[in-house]
Amino acid sequence: MTTPIYFDCDTGVDDAMALGLLLASAEVDLVGIGGVHGNVSAAQGVENTLRLLSLAGCEEIPVAVGENDPLCGDFGGGVPHIHGSNGLGGIALPAAAATPVEEDAADMLVRLSHEYAGDLKIVAVGPLTNLGTALQRDPSVAERIASVTLMGGAALAPGNITAVAEANIANDAEAAQAVVSAPWSVTIVPLDATMTNLFEESDRQQLLAAESEFVHCLGQILDRYFDFYVGEFGRRCSALHDPLAVAIAIGAVAPGKAPRVPVIIDTSDGPGRGQTICDLRGRRPDQVDRDGANVRVVLDTQDQLAPVLIDQLLSFGRKLVAQGGVGS
């Protein structure tokens, strides 16, 4: 029994790790991937996704190009100082064995919502433009989705693109507001949780030591990303933003404090623009669900993701080597 998942991503470094975790999970049926602007352009992200899939011998998974601009405004140019010029830390992967499908990401999502009506889970780890576009084209898509899990926002933690705004949400605040207010079940994995689930240099070395080229490459592309985080954590390591959203969605890591509370995205032009406003007022220290709230905010996790992630990726790598495919 596998779970059909549509994965929406802006494939930079942590998206690649998240993709690896999805591919490694035996319970996941990755039925489609959409690319969106964010860490890199939508086209670059899709190219990265296709190369990673080919390296993992999974080139049959359909990948659709999605929106390259937010619902309002234009693509900001990405963050090459974090993810490298190509989004994969400057590491050049072998050419992909496949090309994007014809339909765009929003159409793919709407189609899959019919094919897997009631069962399809969405995991979104980039700006939410593709989801917002799908909701605009067919608002009923929300009724056919089992759940949406997204990496985004900063509930009580500082933001990363402004003092209060996290990049995925802020890079398309209008789409994010559409997603949190649509009638589906949403789980937000914000910086509060992702900045406390870290991947250390010793963890990276385990990936580098893998026989599988796919897993080895994941270790390589983390190199530059680790440099960026010295300014944040004082040492070479990284947050596990996107992989944590995948892990929460597939149950590889359990949420700790994760109340359902009212959530609104600041779409004003004020200094709070892009903030994910989570109403966490109320009795402390226990955060409790609020009546009628459809958005769950994961404030922390019961266990750390890194050991689970390493175990999954190394197992997947051994499988690839045993199969003797390209990813070995």
From candidates 73, 94, 139, 282, binder to a second copy by CB under 8 A:
282
**Largest pairwise CA distance in the chain:** 56
From candidates 27, 232, 289, 300, binder to a second copy by CB under 8 A:
232
Amino acid at 176: A
CB atoms within 10 A of CB 282: 11
* Nearest-approach distance from CB 283 to a second copy, in angstroms: 5
Q: Which is nearer to a second copy, 223 or 279 (CB)?
A: 279
Is residue 228 a contact residue for a second copy (CB under 8 A)? no
Q: Is 86 left (phi over 0), alpha (psi -120 to 50) or beta?
A: alpha
Is residue 54 a contact residue for a second copy (CB under 8 A)? no
Q: Could you write out the DSSP letters of every residue in 164-219? A: SB-HHHHTTHHHHHHHHHSSS-EEEE-HHHHTTSEEEHHHHHHHHT-SSHHHHHHH
Is residue 227 a contact residue for a second copy (CB under 8 A)? no
Q: Which is nearer to a second copy, 34 or 259 (CB)?
A: 259
From candidates 74, 77, 92, 231, binder to a second copy by CB under 8 A:
231
Is residue 291 a contact residue for a second copy (CB under 8 A)? no
Is residue 73 a contact residue for a second copy (CB under 8 A)? no
CA within 13 Å, CB half, 61 = 26
Q: Which is nearer to a second copy, 118 or 284 (CB)?
A: 284
Is residue 283 a contact residue for a second copy (CB under 8 A)? yes
* CA 237 vs CA 192, 198, 227, 318, 325: distances in Å: 17, 7, 8, 25, 30
* CA 149 vs CA 52, 185, 209: distances in Å: 22, 9, 31
Site string for a second copy, 185-214 (x = CB under 8 A): ----------x-------------------
From candidates 262, 308, 319, 321, binder to a second copy by CB under 8 A:
262
Site string for a second copy, 145-174 (x = CB under 8 A): -----------xxxxx--xx----------
Amino acid at 125: V
Is residue 322 a contact residue for a second copy (CB under 8 A)? no
CB proximity list for 217: less than 8 A, separation 6 or greater: 52, 55, 91, 93
Amino acid at 265: I
Which residues lie near a second copy (CB under 8 A)? 156-160, 163-164, 195, 231-234, 262, 264, 266-273, 275, 277-284
